[in-house]
Chains A and B, each alone.
Chain A
Amino acid sequence: MIYKGKQKIWADYQKEIPDDHWFYVRSCIRQNFFPASEVTMLKIFREMLGKDVYETPHHTTCGGIAYHNECIPQETQMAIIARQFALMTEAGYENYTCSCITSFGLYCETMETWREMPEVLERTRENLWKACRREFEVPKYIAHTSDLVFKFRNEIADMAKYKLVNKDTGEPLKVVEHIGCHYAKMFPSKGVGGAEYPYVLVGMAEKWGGNVIDYPERRHCCGFGFRQYLVKANRGYSVSNTHKKFESMEPFHPDFIVTNCPGCPYFLDRWQYVIAEQTGKTYGGNGYGIPVLTYEEMAGLVLGLDPWDIGMQTHQIAVEPLLDKIGVEYDESKKYAGTGGKPLPEPEFPMNIRCC
């Protein structure tokens, strides 16, 4: 691999990301899968970097899951997005950031549609007014929250307590970066680094000490693929997608996977358990799986936040081997402690994959 060639492509796909004052919307499914990731992102930006990130409890879904499953037409989905933008406008913001990759892709698609066809924008304004008497401005800037973390990767590195380095060998950790399909595959210019060799997660991992692996099935879907999973009869496709990726990355012996999409960490994490149950095969060392992190968790770890506060116990795959490699301090007894130290029910342990 010629690193300079990638750098040239990365230089071609730069994206303007404002420093401050963001209107923030959460992801429907992340709040269920890995809720602490969004909390961690807000903590890093508000408390550690001193940035203004505004959110409102009145925001809704972007409509993405219904839209991509053809349950709602584009006109309805545009009206939902217009309402989100109305909330931003009412709050006095121009910069819009979302936690979900599907939403990000949909915002880009909607804004491009409006740019190409102003009459559709006008119709959306009318629809929104009829539906809820709201008006909106199109955001001046739109970014995924991984873009924001990427932008402040140097500041985070300056504050870091740990590096993505094996504390025993001093070697950089081997990182698989997995980008959500809707981040840049539809609009390469909207993603940091473009669609073929996205830089957004590479930039973070490298800045914080890791080495990124370029493996053959890097571009492949995580396995979610909407109807591959959402239609129950298709779930075999979903797990076989994920299986393909793990078989492809296995020879590179990755230390962990980092993702920037709501669905990807879930499927790459949970399907490792299913693959282990079906085939008896595990992909991490000593019977463990390969830990799968969100980028907020990766940032939280290097910043020295408590792994259980940033939600790493909500993963199927045990993260302790990774924490030990980095040298992160943690208290095993607090892994399943709730608010105020209240003990929460512990999960059952699977048969074929070690979970500490």
Chain B
Amino acid sequence: MAENVVVIGGGPCGIEVSRNLRDMGYTPILLEKQSELGGHLREWDRLFPEGVEARKVLKELTSDMRGVKWFTDAEIESIDKSRKGYTVKVASGMTFESKVLVLTTGFKLFPAEKKEEYGYNIYERVITNADLEHYFSTHKDSRVQNPKNIGFVHCVGSRDEKACNRQCSKVCCATAVKQASEIKELFPDATVYCFYMDLRMFGRSYEDMYLNAQRKYGVRFVRGRVSEVSEDIDGKLFIKAEDTLLGKPLKMKLDLLVLMTGILPGDSTRQFSEMLKVDTGEDGFFTPKDTILEPCRSKENGLFMAGTCTGPKTLPETLSEARATALQVHKYLSK
């Protein structure tokens, strides 16, 4: 009988770890606390840099789940470790045993309302990157009404000591450039501004996407942060910012402001860190055994982790790490 491997977290990473373990002859048990598999990918419309449809990627990932035992609404109640391995108890009463445990618990988006000065949930026309993806998918959002002037604020809750989140979220710059271009396609008459600290277009063809945003779509990039947002008597947004290249403060009226919320450790990271005595860094993400040589293992024997639970990553990086983790698990169990 094939050996069980428990994987906690049913986003793209957990799915890919499970599928690869299955291909290597194991019986992965994939536990997801939400009612569907897919994690944040379910909420997204298109993916940078080429604009591939997120639902197609997810469909492909979940197209062949044969041999993977997956459970949704599976809230973890307890995890006990013994010499034999791990006993994982789910709130529904099910119990699973496994020599190894793989954590793919993912991330959560920074709650935009914490940056109070931007007025999310205070001013009608302030939305987040996730809200905009939802709009791109459904074309339904009363806050988006043929906007003529649109602003994107990069690094909302990232690289921000005041928000207790010092690290770069890695994916927001590329997402902002992608979304700025997409919204310009939807509303060709609109003027689109991106307020950035510096643009981190590190991946292959990301720079092309950025140049395209300027040349093809005319997106205006302003190096500086928005300091405050308010509303005028017509309900338009009134923002104050600084253009640090010109060395001048600026004020502007906008019809829509999109906050590029960053990546934070998932809500369950702390829970599992306490349950399993796994180290987390100052940033709250799990700390691997060795960030260069053993990025998928914890210091604990038999405990593996992959994807954004160890820090912000793009989707291709997450999937590559998932495959690497499956191999590491196989190596460990084959000893």
List residues of A whose CB falls within 8 A of some B CB. 1-2, 4-6, 8-9, 194-197, 214-219, 251-252
Please tell me if the beta carbons of A9 and B116 are within 8 angstroms of each other in the complex: yes
Bound: A2/B126 CA distance, A: 11
Please tell me if the beta carbons of A5 and B230 are within 8 angstroms of each other in the complex: no
Please tell me if the beta carbons of A219 and B122 are within 8 angstroms of each other in the complex: no
Bound: A1/B232 CA distance, A: 10
Query: Contacts A194-B116, A196-B116, A216-B238: A8 and B121 contacting too (C-beta < 8 A)?
Result: yes
CB contact list, B201-243 vs A, under 8 A:
228, 230-233, 238
13 residue pairs A–B, Cβ–Cβ below 8 Å: A2-B122, A5-B122, A6-B122, A9-B113, A9-B116, A9-B122, A194-B116, A214-B230, A215-B232, A216-B230, A216-B232, A219-B230, A251-B232
| Distance between B127 CB and nearest chain A CB, rounded to angstroms | 12
Of the residues B119, B123, B230, B233, contact of A251 by C-beta under 8 Å? B233
Bound: A9/B118 CA distance, A: 13
In the assembled complex, which residues on chain B have CB atoms less than 8 Å from the CB atom of A252?
Answer: 233
In the assembled complex, which residues on chain B have CB atoms less than 8 Å from the CB atom of A5?
Answer: 113, 119-122
Query: Contacts A196-B117, A197-B116: A2 and B232 contacting too (C-beta < 8 A)?
Result: no
| Distance between A191 CB and nearest chain B CB, rounded to angstroms | 12
Bound: A197/B122 CA distance, A: 10
| Distance between B191 CB and nearest chain A CB, rounded to angstroms | 20
| Distance between A14 CB and nearest chain B CB, rounded to angstroms | 15
Binary flags per residue of B77-96, CB closer than 8 Å to A gives 1, else 0: 00000000000000000000
In the assembled complex, which residues on chain B have CB atoms less than 8 Å from the CB atom of A218?
Answer: 230
In the assembled complex, which residues on chain B have CB atoms less than 8 Å from the CB atom of A195?
Answer: 116
Please tell me if the beta carbons of A2 and B116 are within 8 angstroms of each other in the complex: no
Q: Chain A binding site: helix, strand, loop or mixed by DSSP?
A: loop
Please tell me if the beta carbons of B230 and A2 are within 8 angstroms of each other in the complex: no
- Interface centre among B122, B231, B238, by most chain A C-beta atoms within 10 angstroms, is B122
List residues of B whose CB falls within 8 A of some A CB. 113, 116-117, 119-124, 228, 230-233, 238
Top 9 A-B residue pairs of the complex, sorted by shortest distance between their CB atoms: A5-B121, A196-B116, A216-B238, A5-B122, A216-B230, A251-B233, A216-B232, A196-B117, A2-B122
Bound: A196/B120 CA distance, A: 12
Chain B residue with the shortest CB-CB distance to A188: B116
Bound: A219/B119 CA distance, A: 13
In the assembled complex, which residues on chain B have CB atoms less than 8 Å from the CB atom of A4?
Answer: 121
- Interface centre among A195, A214, A218, by most chain B C-beta atoms within 10 angstroms, is A214
Bound: A196/B228 CA distance, A: 9
Please tell me if the beta carbons of B116 and A219 are within 8 angstroms of each other in the complex: no
In the assembled complex, which residues on chain B have CB atoms less than 8 Å from the CB atom of A214?
Answer: 230-231
| Distance between A112 CB and nearest chain B CB, rounded to angstroms | 16
Bound: A5/B228 CA distance, A: 16
Chain A residue with the shortest CB-CB distance to B233: A251
Query: Contacts A215-B230, A219-B230: A2 and B124 contacting too (C-beta < 8 A)?
Result: yes
Query: Contacts A214-B231, A251-B233: A1 and B116 contacting too (C-beta < 8 A)?
Result: no
Identify 14 new A-B residue pairs, CB closer than 8 A, beyond the known A215-B232, A251-B232: A1-B123, A1-B231, A2-B124, A5-B113, A5-B119, A5-B120, A5-B121, A9-B116, A195-B116, A196-B228, A214-B230, A216-B231, A217-B230, A251-B233
Bound: A219/B240 CA distance, A: 11
In the assembled complex, which residues on chain B have CB atoms less than 8 Å from the CB atom of A216?
Answer: 230-232, 238
Query: Contacts A9-B116, A196-B116, A216-B238: A2 and B121 contacting too (C-beta < 8 A)?
Result: yes
Chain A residue with the shortest CB-CB distance to B251: A216
Chain A residue with the shortest CB-CB distance to B232: A216
